[in-house]
Structures are given as C-alpha cells and as structure tokens.
C-alpha cells in the first residue's frame, strides 16, 4: 500500500534561517509528488509539484523541493524563512494512473522572530 | 475567477443527527474530491466525483456519502453523527480529465463540523 510519511510534526526555526521539511513516500508504482501549504483558517494551496523531468522543483514563495527516487523522498527547502511562512505544510502523492491523492500528516512550521 | 466555495463554513450538530455539506468547484472543473482533516491525522480521502460518477472512495463507513450534480457542484452527507466526526471537511476541485490527473487540487476553505 502507498503511504506518505512526514517525520516532523513541528519544526521551529528562527527568521532568516534555512529550513528543510522532510517527506518520504512508499509506492511500488510511479507517483506524482506535491507540497501544499495551509495557513490558519484556510484551505490548502499548492506550493510546488513534481510530475517528471528535472528532480529539483521550484515553487512559490521561494520554496523548492528535490525528488530522490532512490531514497523515495521529496524534501521541501527554503534558504531563508520569514515570519509569514508560519503555516502547516503537507506532502502528497498521486499514484500514476489514478485520481487519488495520499497526504502526509503535515508539518507545522513555526518561524520565530 | 471564483475559487472553490464551501458552505456552511461552521456548523454544530449533536450525536445522531445528520449533516449535508456543499461544494461549488471552480468553473470548468469537473472533478471534485472530499477530505476529512483532523489534528494528527492529516487529510483523509473520502471520495472523488467526476461527471456525476464516483470514481474513487476512501476507507470511510457507509454513513459518509456524496453526490455530484450536472453542474459539477457536489454535496457530502454524514448520517448518524458521532463525536469522532468532528473535523474540518475540505473540498477540492481539479481539471482532471478522463485520463490520469496530474494536476493541482484547488481547495476550498472547508466546513468545520463540531459534533456535541
């Protein structure tokens, strides 16, 4: 069965410091990979996605992620975070050939002044 | 272009009652999916509809049901509410066609259900 693991439930980081949010997945078939962000009292919005091609994907708000097939990972990074990046981040996979998304349990990023 | 609209935004029900939640997708989006979000559990997939047909279903009991209308609007219903049904219910629409959906999900702001 396919699954998505976000090992860190909470990540505190100081403003202007770099951050990495980890995501690992398990699947025996091809997948598409996504990162979504959820601000308080809002729905989710797409940060970036990997469908094929270059394994380094750039998204909105200065975020990027790297697809590592051998390690089945899709970690999200930002070189310098801002207070406004405080939110919950979800990693998701969509199985190639299906219409179903599997989400991780989320990582709450708290940016400290 | 209007986003995904969910109504109501907040509601309180008591155990045993039933509830109906509504979702209007972005114009032109034919795929609508529903998720249950609870603290610590992340988003759990409920079901997905495309052109009035349920294409995918998650592992939820039969008390959870849904439907989609010809204008792509969707409703989900939960009958015989339990305390554990308290959650944020998110609807998402996409441009998924008849083949693999590789696109983005556009989420509404959710309907927060509290069961007392």
**Most B CBs within 10 Å, among A99, A102, A103, A106, to test the B interface:** A99
- Give the minimum alpha-carbon distance from B64 to chain A in angstroms, rounded to a whole number: 17
Can you tell me the mean pLDDT for A86-96? 90
pLDDT at B101 over 70: no
Cα–Cα–Cα angle for A30, B46, A104, nearest 5°? 50
Query: What is the end-to-end Cα distance of chain A in Å, rounded?
Result: 41
**Most A CBs within 10 Å, among B26, B43, B107, to test the A interface:** B43
Find the residue in B nearest to A39 (Cα): B109
Inter-chain CB proximity B110 and A43 less than 8 Å: yes
Mean pLDDT value across chain B: 91
pLDDT tens sequence across A13-58: 999 999 999 999 998 777 889 999 999 888 899 999 998 888 899 9
pLDDT tens sequence across A71-81: 999 999 999 99
Find the residue in B nearest to A94 (Cα): B102
Indicate the pLDDT class of residue B22, thresholds 50, 70 and 90.
very high
Contact A35, B96 (CB under 8 A): no
- Give the minimum alpha-carbon distance from B1 to chain A in angstroms, rounded to a whole number: 16
pLDDT at B100 over 60: no
Can you tell me the mean pLDDT for A58-77? 94
**What's residue A97's pLDDT?**
65
Inter-chain CB proximity B100 and A97 less than 8 Å: yes
- Residues of chain B contacting A49 with CB distance shorter than 8 Å: 104
pLDDT tens sequence across B72-91: 999 999 999 999 999 999 99
**What's residue B95's pLDDT?**
81
**What's residue A28's pLDDT?**
76
- Residues of chain B contacting A98 with CB distance shorter than 8 Å: 56, 100-101
Neighbours of A89 (CB within 10 A): 24
A99: left (phi over 0), alpha (psi -120 to 50) or beta: alpha
* DSSP collapsed to 3 states, chain A: CCEEECCCCEEEEECCCCEEECCEEECCCCEEEEEEEECCCCCEEEEEEECCCCCEEECHHHCEEEEECCCCEEEEEECCCCHHHCEEEEEEEEECCCCCEEECCCEEEEEEC
Report the C-alpha gap between A27 and B47 in whole angstroms.
Answer: 21
Strands A10-14 and A107-112: parallel
């Amino acid at each position: 069965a396919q699954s998505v693991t976000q090992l860190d439930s909470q990540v505190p980081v100081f403003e202007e410091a770099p951050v990495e949010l980890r995501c690992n997945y398990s699947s025996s078939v091809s997948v598409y990979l996504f990162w979504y962000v959820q601000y308080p009292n809002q729905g989710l919005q797409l940060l970036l996605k990997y469908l094929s091609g270059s394994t380094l994907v750039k998204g909105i708000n200065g975020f990027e992620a790297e697809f590592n097939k051998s390690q089945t990972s899709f970690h999200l990074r930002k070189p310098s975070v801002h207070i406004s990046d405080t939110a919950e981040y979800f990693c998701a996979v969509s199985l190639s050939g299906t219409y179903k998304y599997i989400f991780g349990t989320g990582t709450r990023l708290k940016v400290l002044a | 272009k209007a986003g995904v609209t969910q109504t109501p935004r907040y509601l309180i029900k008591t155990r045993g009652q039933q509830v109906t939640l509504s979702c209007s997708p972005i114009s032109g989006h034919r795929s609508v999916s529903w998720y249950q979000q609870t603290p610590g559990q992340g988003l759990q997939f409920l079901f997905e509809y495309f052109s009035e047909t349920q294409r995918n279903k998650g592992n939820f009991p039969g008390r959870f049901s849904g439907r989609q209308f010809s204008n792509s609007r969707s409703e989900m219903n939960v009958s015989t509410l339990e305390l554990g049904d308290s959650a944020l219910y998110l609807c998402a629409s996409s441009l998924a066609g008849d083949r693999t959906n590789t696109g983005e999900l556009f989420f509404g702001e959710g309907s927060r259900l509290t069961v007392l």
